[in-house]
Amino acid sequence: MKGQVQTEHLRNALNKILSVVDKKNSRPILSYTLFKVDNGSIEFSATNLEVSAKVITPANVENPGTFCVNAKNIFDIVRELPEGEISFEMKEGTNFLNLTSNNIHYSLLVYNYEDFPQLTFSKQENEFTMNSEQLLEIINKTFHAISSDETRLYLNGIYLQGIDSRIRAVATDGHRLSLVETEPLDNAADMEPLLNGIIIPKKGVFELKKIAESFPGKMLKISFDESFMYINAENKYFLSIRLIARDYPKYQAVIPSKTSYTMSADRDSLLGAVKRIKIMSHEKSNGVRMKLKKNSITISANHPSFGEANEDINVNYDGKEMEIGFNARYLLDTLQTFNEGKINLELNNELSPIIIKSSNSPNYIGIIMPLKL
């Protein structure tokens, strides 16, 4: 096996798959990446059996070959090599991969590729396409609300459901909820697997964000089977993600069907005030108080060891006076998903969930449960 590849191409490909490599060493082969060298390209594959990735990059191939090599080791090497061309060679009958860049030489032990898991990266039936920008918006507006509580596995991901010709994405940890819908998709008839909803695990969501960012504005092919989600980006970058096999809770019950009061505020003003007052909140609860009165709110916090702080903000509000407690981190996470401009906070009373909306993001709502202080 022999050929040449650009350092930049090799580095970028390894960087895409490295985060998928199994770091728990449950099986030694899973710390390796599979190299398939053939037909003017190199195909790299890696898996932890929950998420798998495959990247294809161009190369000048003189003799084909297939082998496994330690993923982190070769990435650490390539990361430090100068730009230019890398020559690679594995002589017949040996188990060493020889890398040469200028006057730099490495010989890396390789592993039998037949021990590497067989991976699947596509499901032709019910395949539909989605713009990478739509996928990225789904992730950016919901990722922060995914639960980290491993005892409630069904909350450890983003729930996707086909609603008419749109895809609805929901994430919640029981204290806050984010919900966003895409614009209508052209090929919505092929979204049948989404009608009953699927849950993408947090690790898979991280890899989805990476593939969407790698192909800005491009169409991604998406398909499903009973256990996996498959993504294909221009036949260059592939993902396979094992879905969470649980039923998602009835999230609709958390969303108030109607609200009595609405407060309108400048997003940046409210965000800045919460950031400043959070400094004086207790580390465990991150609790801040928000006192609503006519056309103004006062945000305050009291730390038993440091002192207290408060800040007044001008808003549009004409409802009854009330004081509500919030986890400041939850409030900040939600506010940061909105763009600049006006946002609306809708509520009923001191104990009910608060809905955060914006006319700039009509397909998105954030919900935060109040905090008892």
pLDDT for 189: 60
Angstrom distance (rounded) from CA 174 to CA 111: 45
Using alpha carbons only, how large is the chain's radius of gyration in Å?
A: 25
pLDDT for 188: 60
- The mean per-residue pLDDT over the stretch 145-163 comes to 94
Angstrom distance (rounded) from CA 358 to CA 53: 36
Residue 232, classified by CB atoms within 10 Å of its CB into exposed (0-12), middle (13-18) or buried (19+), is: buried
Angstrom distance (rounded) from CA 187 to CA 165: 8
pLDDT per residue as tens digits for the range 170-221: 999 999 999 999 988 776 666 777 888 999 999 999 999 999 999 999 999 9
Tokens of 207: 């890899």
Tell me the residue type at 187. Answer: N
- The mean per-residue pLDDT over the stretch 59-76 comes to 95
Angstrom distance (rounded) from CA 262 to CA 292: 11
pLDDT per residue as tens digits for the range 282-301: 988 999 999 999 999 999 99
pLDDT per residue as tens digits for the range 69-117: 999 999 999 999 999 999 999 998 899 999 999 999 999 999 999 999 9
Element at 134 (helix H, strand E) = helix 132-142
Q: 237-242 and 261-266 as β-strands: parallel, antiparallel, unpaired?
A: unpaired
Beta bridge partners, 344, equal 264, 357
Q: Do residues 373 and 287 make contact, with C-beta atoms less than 8 angstroms apart?
A: yes
3-state secondary structure at position 152: coil
The mean predicted confidence, pLDDT, of the chain is 94
What phi and psi values does residue 107 have, to the nearest 5 degrees? -125, 115
What phi and psi values does residue 110 have, to the nearest 5 degrees? -115, 165
Q: Which domains does the chain have, with CATH numbers?
A: 2-115 (3.10.150.10), 128-251 (3.10.150.10), 259-368 (3.10.150.10)
The DSSP code for 280 is T
pLDDT for 100: 96
The DSSP code for 360 is T
Beta bridge partners, 105, equal 100
Tell me the residue type at 101. Answer: S
Token look-up 């006062």 returns 298
Residue 217, classified by CB atoms within 10 Å of its CB into exposed (0-12), middle (13-18) or buried (19+), is: exposed
Tokens of 301: 């916090």
Query: If pLDDT is split at 50, 70 and 90, which confidence band does 23 have?
Result: confident
Residue 93, classified by CB atoms within 10 Å of its CB into exposed (0-12), middle (13-18) or buried (19+), is: exposed
CB contact set of 321 (below 8 Å; sequence gap of 6+): 291, 292, 293, 294
Angstrom distance (rounded) from CA 287 to CA 105: 57
pLDDT per residue as tens digits for the range 76-85: 999 999 999 9
CB contact set of 266 (below 8 Å; sequence gap of 6+): 341, 342, 343
Task: Label residues 18-46 b or e (16+ Cβ within 10 Å = b).
Answer: bebbbeeeeeebbbbbbbbbeeebbbbbb
Query: What is each CA distance from 3 to 37, 87, 185, 275, in whole angstroms?
Result: 9, 6, 43, 54
Residue 348 has pLDDT above 90, yes or no: yes
